[in-house]
Chains A and B, each alone.
Chain A
């Protein structure tokens, strides 16, 4: 419960939470950077990492303030999407992060939940910022996303406020093992189903996912995994008639 938490504990947590929000504020930029590393090895298309870093850094440090000043002085030239991201998404979150330092969080669960949801809403606003708005009396493609994006910003701010004004549960405990291995299993399935086929992929994904629990007994899991894969290999393509690659591509040819 929140009221059992000492004051100093709240203070240290606040710093952590605020730093977390700062990280969240530049999460899309970081994500694009990680993604862009792939281009070095020739995977995917897009800009290289250096280009990403430079464009976002300039947008965050120079472009966005410039655009703000420009807007204030009535200058309406088109701004780049990096600048928009900084303006719509990163800056508001930085503001929230700074405010967090000075707040007493009474329910971290609600407060953090509200702020992260707000980040999602701001991100959606940015993602929909290139869409057309109202065209006369008819809605444009961007009208509804903006409407609901704005509404979600307001609602999530409300939730965050609840976290400040009323007592509630603190942050819940997250574990890493379950999510990690289950996600790894899913990811492996997605990447391998086409080249390796259902039989191999199903079994390996089963084993990866099984590693998510410390109770797993390997021999037992292997036997069940094999039976299940066999069952699926009969059930899905033959009984339900779903077209699905069965065996690795190199074996089939």
Chain B
């Protein structure tokens, strides 16, 4: 039953995104299809989250939601474009921790400000971050890891997926907590970085759960801890950083939806309601959980909560990333 519903739902979205479905009868908003800019390539973690949730939102809103992937400069190209778009509620952006928080300290010449140029709509999902290491890395648990990394900083190589990537900024956070400056080896994306970790060419990295679960389960890499307050159902054996003794290391690659500044509160409210409804849908929840995502609870879904999150995240990343560039 759920399969058929998922299938028809997905079909409807597919057709709608092709523009083949006639628009529903005119309402106040939305009267035509909505475009959501995704600042990363199709198929990436942000894109997948955006697609799963907007597919359901489109049903609620009665209009198709077109995803436009605009890549470049760590997502800031697309975010700049969204900041300058018309604030009529027909151009939205699904940003993430990088575009709407870490970009502030990373790019001094940023053409937008996450707080001043956007109306927050809703937090969509959080993707936990893991501390990963090559299969034969000596430490057995996080405590040993901390001691080992501190003792051998000179010799170790930490991989990351490029400046500004989630893996880069979260590792910077880890390093600032441990107060070390190891050699960071940049790779061009998560795939090559994971490849190097599996092959044992680098020692450890921090990365989002989506990419890591299958490798951990297959035993090609190992995970020391998950940087969320609670354990994740897809990796029940991996302890949290709180349990493992590094409670300060808390990081999530969150995805959230924003509209350009000045979008009317009514539109924001209707989009927020649609997003909240999507997050309560069984199929949507199931798919997000399969990805290892953390689904925000009712209190975290409000625009106000997102505004606070952005503020806090900027405050959190600025001291970590400022000296790095």
Contact = CB atoms under 8 A, between A and B. Distances in A.
Direct contact of A and B (CB under 8 A): yes
B182 to A, nearest CB: 12
A241 B18 contact: yes
Nearest to A137: B183
Interface size on B, as a range, is under 10
Contacts of B313: none
Nearest to B17: A241
A167 B237 CA distance: 76
Contacts of B68: 243
Interface string A48-61: 00000000000000
Interface in B47-83: 66, 68
B18 A243 contact: no
Contact of B66 (A138, A238, A243): A243
Which of A138, A238, A241, A243 has the most CB atoms of chain B within a 10 A radius of its CB?
A243
A138 B183 CA distance: 10
Interface in A213-253: 238, 241, 243
Interface in A13-67: none
5 tightest A-B CB contacts, nearest first: A243-B68, A241-B18, A243-B66, A138-B183, A238-B18
5 contacts: A138-B183, A238-B18, A241-B18, A243-B66, A243-B68
A243 B68 CA distance: 8
Contacts of B183: 138
Contacts of B66: 243
A243 B35 CA distance: 11
Contacts of B18: 238, 241
Nearest to A241: B18
A132 to B, nearest CB: 11
Interface string B174-194: 000000000100000000000
Interface in B179-216: 183
Nearest to B67: A243
A238 B15 CA distance: 12
Nearest to B66: A243
Interface string B3-28: 00000000000000010000000000
B186 to A, nearest CB: 11
A244 to B, nearest CB: 12
Contacts of A238: 18
A238 to B, nearest CB: 8
A143 to B, nearest CB: 15
Nearest to B20: A238
A241 B18 CA distance: 7
Contacts of A243: 66, 68
B132 to A, nearest CB: 23
A238 B68 CA distance: 16
A238 B17 CA distance: 11
B175 to A, nearest CB: 16
A252 to B, nearest CB: 11
Interface in A145-182: none
A73 B68 CA distance: 57
A88 B255 CA distance: 46
A213 B68 CA distance: 39
A29 B75 CA distance: 33
Nearest to A138: B183
A243 B33 CA distance: 13
Interface string A107-126: 00000000000000000000
A60 B179 CA distance: 49
A57 to B, nearest CB: 29
A31 B183 CA distance: 42
A250 to B, nearest CB: 15
A193 to B, nearest CB: 16
A214 B68 CA distance: 42
A238 B66 CA distance: 14
Contacts of A241: 18
A224 B256 CA distance: 48
A138 B181 CA distance: 14
A138 B18 CA distance: 49
Interface string B160-184: 0000000000000000000000010
A208 B202 CA distance: 55
A53 B183 CA distance: 46
A138 B68 CA distance: 38
B91 to A, nearest CB: 13
A38 to B, nearest CB: 20
A203 to B, nearest CB: 23
A241 B20 CA distance: 12
Nearest to B185: A138
Nearest to A237: B19
Nearest to A243: B68
A5 to B, nearest CB: 51
Interface in B261-302: none
B157 to A, nearest CB: 12
A6 B197 CA distance: 67
A160 B66 CA distance: 54
Contacts of A138: 183
A67 B183 CA distance: 37
A241 B66 CA distance: 12
A211 B66 CA distance: 39
B323 to A, nearest CB: 14
